[in-house]
Every structure is written in structure tokens, then in C-alpha cells.
Amino acid sequence: MSQLMLTYSLLVAQVLLGLAIGCGALRIFLGPRVQDRVLGFDTLSVNAMLLLLTVGIRTGEALYFEAALAMALFGFVGTAALAKFLLRGEVIE
């Protein structure tokens, strides 16, 4: 019974995180300015990382944890590089 509840709550959590990814994608699409798009990208990468963790719980494999860790790292690097690019027009001064 509680196992069935966990299965369904995994499904619901995946749908909610998918909607959150959709919100980030919509913000990238709508803009209206470049900094909004960068913020949308940051949100999208974090939400995708959380979705990967949820998929890892669903399948019971530890592989997804490492993918989520890499995604968190690259999301931070991407956001910081894009913000630096907005500030000066070049990433490395």
C-alpha cells in the first residue's frame, strides 16, 4: 500500500518538476531581456537536476546521482559565464 503510494508520488513529483522545467523554458522563450533568459536557463538546469535525482529514485540506480552532480556543476558554470558575458562582453578578461 505505502509502496504504491511511493510509486504514485514519484510520478506526481516528476510531473511537477516537468512543469517547473516548462516554466523555465517559457521564461527563456519570453525574455523580455537577456538577463531574464539567463535566469530562466539557471532555473531550468536546477530543475532538470532535481528531475534526474527523482528518476534515480525511480530506477534505483546510483548512476543518475552522478549525472545530477555534473548537471549542477555545469549549470553554475554556464550561468556565471553568461552573466560575466553580459557584464563586459567577454567571458575571460
Residue 89, interface with other proteins (CB under 8 A)?
A: no
What is the Cα–Cα distance from 31 to 35, expressed in whole angstroms?
8
Window 6-45: contact mask with other proteins (x via CB under 8 A): xx-xx-xxx-xx-xxx-xx-xx--xxxxxxxxxxx-xx--
**Site size toward other proteins, by CB under 8 A:** 59
Rounded to a whole number of angstroms, the minimum distance from the CB of residue 92 to other proteins is 14
Short-list 92, 91, 81, 1, CA closest to 38: 81
Rounded to a whole number of angstroms, the minimum distance from the CB of residue 86 to other proteins is 4
Question: Which residues, 6+ apart, have CB-to-CB distance to 70 below 8 Å?
Answer: none
What is the Cα–Cα distance from 50 to 38, expressed in whole angstroms?
19
What is the Cα–Cα distance from 76 to 74, expressed in whole angstroms?
5
44 neighbors 59 (Cβ within 8 angstroms): no
Which residues sit at the interface with other proteins, rule CB under 8 A? 1-3, 5-7, 9-10, 12-14, 16-17, 19-21, 23-24, 26-27, 30-40, 42-43, 46-47, 49-50, 53-54, 56-62, 65, 68-69, 72-73, 76, 79-80, 82-84, 86-87
